[in-house]
Structure 1
Amino acid sequence: MFRHVPGLFYSPSATWNRIHDDIERSPCNFIPLLLLGSLIPALCIYYGASVAGWSLFGSEQQKFLSQRSAAMLAVAVWLAYVTNIVIMGWMVRWVLFRTPVRPSALRGMAFATFLSMPFMLGALAALLPERWLILLVIPIVAGYSALHLYLGLPIFMRLSKTKAYFHATCILAVGLLTMLVVGLFYLESWRALAPPGDYQGIEEERIEQTLP
């Protein structure tokens, strides 16, 4: 499944056909891509928050998380991506309940996994967490994922384009709601479990390191 990822960016229609054929042969082949691909945003968030430092909105001071807190945030991000795709697999199956060939939940998860690839790769921006870069990347990856939804749904699910557009719009609405709810759940879970102190400034860390 990893070999299909580059094709999503330069030959999407042919790639969606190849993805369809591979999932037909082995419905669980997408799982390694899901588990390993979700590590990209998790590791990038860890590096950006604990090593590179963030300039938070409303402040010009560079801040960072402790390694322990950043590691917990990375785990929360990984779980959020996996949870979101599992839920969306069932949501895709639910939205397409009246189609001639209703997809299984696994098939829906495979579809959601490839739709999330722009978000996974776009998380590389967290390695250099500048505000202007984040604001630039978010609409690009969201737009590209939505484009693949409308392009890939009729190919992957073998639907007519007329009906696929309606179903794709429903999936888009459900996906936005799911992403928001899952993201807030894991964010609040991290805030509840992470060590106190939140972000520290660079000068604060240096002072702590010099103390005996």
Structure 2
Amino acid sequence: MLLSHAFGLFTHPEDEWVSIKKEHEHPTRLYVAYVVVLAAIAPICAYISTAHFGWSIGSERLIKLTEISALQMSVLTYLAMLVGVFALGYAINWMAKTYGAKEEHVPSNGIALAAYSCTPLFLAGFALLYPVPWFNAVVFLAAACYGAWLMYDGLPIVMGIEKERAVMYGGALLTVALVILVSTRVGSVILWNLGLGPVFVSG
């Protein structure tokens, strides 16, 4: 089962990458059975916490989003995550030949690397049930660092390249990931200006 890899990536990542490489799952099945499921964790938890729990900064009053606004934000976040993973997977395959990958002809490898490397970020979504900004920031920062390490660790195994090339390949992919992140932020600003911004209420 694809979801079993999520646990293995935290306990024995190198063995898990070898197993993932051997599977050669079809990209569509991998996307639907893994990314679509795990990417839903953060939006669902964010909806629950922002619409029902609320948050406060310092001694300020409790702040919540209206249920419609929270649902709207969660759906948009979910779609952005799905697009982001796909874009990163596409970039991995697109750059493969440049960095001498021997497995660039296998279309599932890019999506597999992107999807499984994002596992810590997917699971970090549970932290949103405790809507304290500094706590969420620390959890997601730690998850992003571990996700970056997972990608670096998995590149030589899944794509069949030398460990030395994985440093440059991984650096290029992290740059792509940052561009994707900035693009989502810009997209958020545009959508908010179009009237799709958050609607706050006092708790």
TM-score, structure 1 as length reference:
0.85
1:49 aligned partner: 50
Q: Equivalents in 2 of 1:140, 1:132: separation in Å?
A: 12
CA positional deviation for 1:189: 2.3
Residue 106 of structure 1: how far off its partner (Å): 3.9
RMSD in angstroms over aligned alpha carbons?
Answer: 2.1
1:121 is aligned to 123
1:141-191: per-residue Cα shift (whole Å, max 9, x none)? 111011101111111112110111111111111111112212431464256
- The residue aligned with 1:20 is 21
Matches within 5 A, 1:82-97: 82-97=82-97
SS in 2 for 1:122: helix
Deviation at 1:105, TM superposition (A): 5.0
Rounded Cα–Cα distance in structure 1 between residues aligned with 2:91 and 2:37:
22
Larger radius of gyration: 1
Percent of matched pairs sharing the same residue = 25
Structure 1 unaligned regions, length at least 5 = 203-212
Residue 169 of structure 1 corresponds to 171
Checking the alignment, whether the CA contact within 8 Å between 1:89 and 1:105 is kept in structure 2 is: no
Are 1:69 and 2:69 counterparts? yes
- Distance in structure 2 (CA, Å) of the matches to 1:174 and 1:94: 12
Supply the distance in 2 between the matched residues of 1:29 and 1:128 (Cα, whole angstroms): 32
Moved over 6 A (4+): none
Partner of 2:63, secondary structure, is strand
State whether residues 92 and 173 of structure 2, in contact with CA within 8 Å, keep that contact through their aligned partners in structure 1: yes
Q: What is the CA–CA distance in structure 1 between the aligned matches of 2:193 and 2:131, rounded to whole Å? A: 20
Q: 1:62–1:201: 8 Å Cα contact kept in structure 2?
A: yes
* One-letter identity of the residue aligned with 1:130: V
Between the aligned partners of 1:116 and 1:50, the Cα distance in structure 2 is: 26
Q: Distance in 1 between the 2:193 and 2:70 partners?
A: 11
Q: Which amino acid aligns with 2:133?
A: R
Query: Is structure 2 residue 87 aligned with structure 1 residue 102?
Result: no
By how many angstroms is 1:12 displaced? 0.4
Aligned length: 199
Q: 1:10 to 1:101 in 2, by over 3 A?
A: closer
Determine the C-alpha separation between the residues in 1 that align with 2:146 and 2:110: 19
TM-score between the two structures when normalised by the length of structure 2: 0.89
Alpha-carbon spacing, 1:25–1:174, altered in 2? closer, same or farther (3 Å) = closer
* Closer/same/farther in 2, CA of residues 180 and 104 from structure 1, 3 Å limit: farther
Comparing 2-11 with 154-163, greater Cα deviation is found at 154-163
